[in-house]
Structure 1
Amino acid sequence: MLSVSKIRRLGGVSVLVLAALAAGSLLNQSIAPAHAMQAISEPNFAAAIPAGAPMSFADLIEHVSPAVVTIQASSTPDEAPAGVDLDNMPPQMREWLERQFGGRAGPQAAQPRQSLGSGFFISADGYLVTNNHVVDGATEITIGTAGGETYPARVIGLDPQTDLALLKVDEEIEFPFVTLEDQPHYRVGDWVVAVGNPFGLGGTATAGIISATGREIGNSNYNDFLQIDAPINRGNSGGPTFSLDGKVVGVNSQIFSPTGGSVGIGFAIPSDVAARVVAALRENGHVSRGWLGVGIQNVTEDIASAMGLEESTGAIISSVVAGGPADQAGFEREDVVLAVNDESVENSRDLTRRIGEFSSGTDVRFRVLRDGRERTLRVELGERPDDSTLNQLPSREQAEASVDIFGMTLSELSDEVRDGRGLAAGTVGLVIESLEPGGEASRKGLSRGDIILEAGGRAVGTTEALRDAINAARAGNRNAILLLVETQAGQRYIALQLGEAE
């Protein structure tokens, strides 16, 4: 049975991450003896490439295929399905369920999840590249070679931001490998060949051209994609895209598809991006990216007009993280970042990528426009937190206007937020701006953006009102206080232990 790991929507068309399928058989192909395996260099394909389109890709595919592998990743869910609570069923219903399910209608054991993708060796000692989404969360990883051998593999490092992963096979043999081109030279219209494991059919090769470069897909801030029309499908994830000289110029990652199958629009991570990320993963196990600590957006024509700017370029600061590098360097809201180390900034995405290319601790100069005058700010960049931590960090403005209670940073409900959430006029409450990881509120399932409407049966429109409700509960010898909370899924009650309050 086929399965898809995740689907995102982009402009009404599905963006399908080329992930997992159920197991498929590997093609039994011969592979050279271990002692004969060596780096796959640039073979001479001149005889097979006459002027114009290639007559055949056979020599190329035969040369590089031994380095391409099938990757099978297994993971176990954190919790088993709840099943049906037979104890609370009427006897007749319980008997019927037991007959239908053979006595197995209760909670079931957690079943392992399987995903299948592609990858390729980049060194003779067993390092190989694939997509992060193929192996993320896996408890067991097995690779299968073109010759039918299987080996266990372990994760060296993952980079969700670019959807790349580096694995290692610890075997005392030499593996055939290919080279990630760190300075690729390609143009729209160049021929490429993709080799991988679509739908579990290992060793499948397809050919096409580079349809476009520099594609911005989804929320990938640190990578533009190659668009290729060589057919790639589910299971091609992590497989290589080759130039005609046998070098890897891309790592297959996503497709556009209204149907779930290939429609001739696939996307590969450029090899120069992959080479930098893989080098960092091999050295450190993770990718360290610089972090400024600001919220930014594009300078649109309307914003440029409102600020008296001649051009709609650069990135405008919409918020500054309290205590972050930008806060310490004196950045302000409405600053427009024009250049980084004297290199012009086109837009917010360009700025994010520029900062991410620096390592943490790097001293960087920013030229900004403030109140019609240009000035230079020097910043020592921090290290970018993971997404979950990043989403919890309050802005300087939020921190100045909020109070920390139960591990929550709270601010008063504004008219804009109340109207946006569809709450009745006159509703008061406190908005959760951030949560301390591991705090009482976080442990009880509260989330950023939830709105506390009542505490101990009292409406709470201010932090003082919340503290009064907490003090009243303590005076009544209560160990916990009951909150009425407006969440994205509706209103619910949550009890917080008073021992955690400040």
Structure 2
Amino acid sequence: EYRGHVVGVDSETDVAVIKIDAKRTFQPVQIANSDGVQVGDWAIAIGSPFGLQATVTAGIVSATGRDLGSGQFQHFLQTDAAINPGNSGGPLLNIRGEVIGINTMIATRSGSYEGIGFALPSNTAVKVYNDIIRDGRVVRGSIGIKWSKSGSQLDTLEAFGLNHGVLVETVAPQGPAGKAGIKVDDIILAMNDRPVKDGDELVNKVADLPIGSTALLSVDRDGKHLDFKVGIQERSVVWSDAPELAENRSGKPEVPEPPKAAVPTPVRFGITIMNLKEKEREDLGIDDKAGVKVVTVDPGSFADDIGIQENDAILAINRQPVNTPDDVMRLQKNLKPGAPVALHIVRSIGIGGRHTPPSRIYVSGRLPQD
């Protein structure tokens, strides 16, 4: 055992740099380039599972770039090398004994190893280490946008005639993107003339840019191509005033209104809809006349499969505005079996009597073949 102290911590990757006090000289391990790791490569995990020191297990790399939703900058290597409680923080090695990752967690229903473990890639750990040693903390750039990961983004983009890009869901009001003119529902296609595949790729590229620099973003807005010069600001500053849970705006108890007859859409969608009431528009922050309310969702229907929920408000279908149930009926007639469909919806989520700000998201999929 050695005494040590924490030099710095990065909460977004759950990595800390610790300096130990020792009189002896240590032989460092070699660090591999984790970007070169491929599925099927040998993987060797070292750790102390259940207190059993210096335990070595072996397997292969099962997947790379695995996004578990645990953090924006955590995209893991997946391995079937046995990892158990006590392995966390230990190295994952390649066949040459070079570190390709830091063992982090497992997917399990029993609490023990079930064949699926995850390691933070070595390149991510090295970047965090270098930043902490140089600056005492990790500084990441941001342009002040967030995007939706719900549904199939490829289907959504394909419905708009695109095969790549980032659909903007939120724009920080005082953030660089907002000041430059980027809006919600814009699709970012490229940064500095290089195509952007998805949101994860964009945010990682932006995070690596120097604070105060400028990036050129190419955007699709309702089928029109636009370019914006956007400044890079420190991520922690851009999102320092992110909204927290808020009370229901009116502060008054909800009084249910008598139900009205719902207008059924075609069976192809599997929902019934009706016009939104004025109070519902106010609560959802929807402009007058825009949107229709989802009253019911048929189990096992297309709508159910893509994640539409009761009380969602549909604003558009494949970028075509929806103001009345008749609009939905009209737009669906032009959709062929197997066609990609993207529905722009507003959803309010209540938690413990409180409500988060309504979310504007896309749900998408392909219509079933008749």
Superposition TM-score, scaled by structure 2 size = 0.63
What is the DSSP-based 3-state SS (H/G/I as helix, E as strand, rest coil) of the residue aligned with 1:389?
coil
What is the DSSP-based 3-state SS (H/G/I as helix, E as strand, rest coil) of the residue aligned with 2:8?
strand
Superposition TM-score, scaled by structure 1 size = 0.48
Partner of 2:142: 291
Partner of 1:301: 155
Q: Could you tell me which amino acid in structure 2 is paired with residue 256 of structure 1?
A: A
How far residue 364 of structure 1 moved from its aligned partner, in angstroms, is: 0.9
Tell me: CA distance 1:375–1:388, structure 2 relative to 1, closer, same or farther (3 Å): closer
Post-superposition, which runs of at least 4 consecutive aligned residues in structure 1 deviate over 6 A? 408-411
Partner of 1:425: 256
2: CA distance, partners of 1:205 / 1:343? 42
1: CA distance, partners of 2:239 / 2:4? 28
Tell me: CA distance 1:179–1:411, structure 2 relative to 1, closer, same or farther (3 Å): same
How far residue 184 of structure 1 moved from its aligned partner, in angstroms, is: 5.6
What is the DSSP-based 3-state SS (H/G/I as helix, E as strand, rest coil) of the residue aligned with 1:425?
coil
How far residue 359 of structure 1 moved from its aligned partner, in angstroms, is: 3.4
Where does structure 2 lack aligned partners over 5 or more consecutive residues? 258-278, 286-349, 355-370
What is the DSSP-based 3-state SS (H/G/I as helix, E as strand, rest coil) of the residue aligned with 1:237?
coil
- Aligned 1:231-250 pairs, distance under 5 A: 231-250=82-101
| RMSD of equivalent CA atoms | 3.2
- Aligned 1:174-213 pairs, distance under 5 A: 174-182=25-33, 185-213=36-64
Partner of 1:338: 189
Partner of 1:349: 200
Residue by residue over 1:68-111, the C-alpha shift from the partner in whole angstroms, topping out at 9 and shown as x without a partner, is xxxxxxxxxxxxxxxxxxxxxxxxxxxxxxxxxxxxxxxxxxxx
How far residue 330 of structure 1 moved from its aligned partner, in angstroms, is: 1.5
2: CA distance, partners of 1:361 / 1:410? 36
How far residue 409 of structure 1 moved from its aligned partner, in angstroms, is: 8.9
Q: How many residues align?
A: 264
Partner of 2:214: 363
Tell me: CA distance 1:186–1:372, structure 2 relative to 1, closer, same or farther (3 Å): closer
Tell me: CA distance 1:425–1:373, structure 2 relative to 1, closer, same or farther (3 Å): same
Match of 1:161 among 12, 16, 19: 12
Contact 2:91 / 2:102 at 8 angstroms: preserved in 1? yes
Match of 1:489 among 347, 352, 360: 352
1: CA distance, partners of 2:88 / 2:246? 40
2: CA distance, partners of 1:185 / 1:489? 46
Contact 1:182 / 1:275 at 8 angstroms: preserved in 2? no
* The structure with more radius of gyration: 1
2: CA distance, partners of 1:260 / 1:320? 39
Partner of 2:176: 325
Where does structure 1 lack aligned partners over 5 or more consecutive residues? 1-149, 394-407, 434-486, 492-502
2: CA distance, partners of 1:320 / 1:278? 30
Contact 1:195 / 1:205 at 8 angstroms: preserved in 2? yes
Matched, 1:276 2:108: no
2: CA distance, partners of 1:388 / 1:365? 21
Q: Could you tell me which amino acid in structure 1 is paired with residue 58 of structure 2?
A: A
2: CA distance, partners of 1:388 / 1:324? 8
Q: Could you tell me which amino acid in structure 2 is paired with residue 208 of structure 1?
A: G
Q: Could you tell me which amino acid in structure 2 is paired with residue 377 of structure 1?
A: F
Q: In percent, how many aligned pairs have the same letter?
A: 33
Tell me: CA distance 1:380–1:386, structure 2 relative to 1, closer, same or farther (3 Å): closer
- Aligned 1:32-431 pairs, distance under 5 A: 150-182=1-33, 185-297=36-148, 299=153, 301-302=155-156, 305=159, 309-385=160-236, 389=240, 391-392=242-243, 412-413=249-250, 423-425=254-256
2: CA distance, partners of 1:229 / 1:409? 43
2: CA distance, partners of 1:174 / 1:313? 50
1: CA distance, partners of 2:250 / 2:147? 23
